Chain A
Amino acid sequence: DAKTTQPNSMESNEEEPVHLPCNHSTISGTDYIHWYRQLPSQGPEYVIHGLTSNVNNRMASLAIAEDRKSSTLILHRATLRDAAVYYCILFNFGNEKLTFGTGTRLTIIP
């Protein structure tokens, strides 16, 4: 199974953009890149996903490298409510296996 690598923790100032990196050098052609975030004692919440092209939604943007071996989740203007653990996941279209890594703990500084 393809794996993802993320920094353990990151800090950002409130109202500033945040760029959360993810490496997935062994990604296969049928792997979709998903991002979820989790607040303490809650289930993860979907943020965004993509295959090859950059994606935007109301929560964030996803920038995918041309070779698909890395991606970046972009929060355009961080708020205190964005403080969470962010998981970058490869979802395989063939076997539908959804495996989480260790994630990045994002701290927002007021």
Chain B
Amino acid sequence: DGGITQSPKYLFRKEGQNVTLSCEQNLNHDAMYWYRQDPGQGLRLIYYSQIVNDFQKGDIAEGYSVSREKKESFPLTVTSAQKNPTAFYLCASSSGVDEAFFGQGTRLTVV
């Protein structure tokens, strides 16, 4: 089945540690996105990529990094520079102006 997969579903991180969230899609989509959602809030764009080996900062990129070495994969690293990383993280992909598909999300908690 075609789709977009995020892993893990739940992730715990100690303060000061970097952690990488996985996002994989087999929809052959060029564009991929990372969002952060805090409780009761909307989605805020962290990074997006229109094509392999290229990506742009979204509205809240500070403390995060990404890579796009393969079309299928767009991992997000939450660095120690992100002061309040506890949130729900969503990945999405799209093929231009048509619908975007979202993963089921990763819930990151700093302990």
Contacts and interface: CB of A to CB of B under 8 A. Distances in A.
B48 interface: yes
A43 B42 contact: no
Contacts of B35: 100
A87 B50 contact: no
Nearest to A44: B102
A100 B96 CA distance: 17
Counting chain B CB atoms within 10 Å of each CB, which of A36, A43, A49 scores highest?
A43
B1 interface: no
Counting chain A CB atoms within 10 Å of each CB, which of B43, B96, B104 scores highest?
B43
Contacts of B103: 43
B43 A96 contact: no
Interface of A is mostly: loop
B33 interface: yes
Contacts of A99: 45, 58-59
Nearest to A103: B42
A98 B92 contact: yes
A60 B85 CA distance: 36
A100 B105 contact: no
B8 to A, nearest CB: 15
Given A96-B96, A98-B45, A100-B44, 10 more contacts: A32-B97, A43-B103, A43-B104, A44-B90, A91-B97, A95-B50, A97-B56, A98-B31, A100-B42, A100-B43
Interface of A: 32, 34, 36, 41-46, 49, 51, 85, 87, 91, 93, 95-103
10 contacts: A41-B105, A43-B103, A44-B92, A45-B102, A46-B99, A95-B50, A95-B56, A96-B31, A96-B48, A98-B92
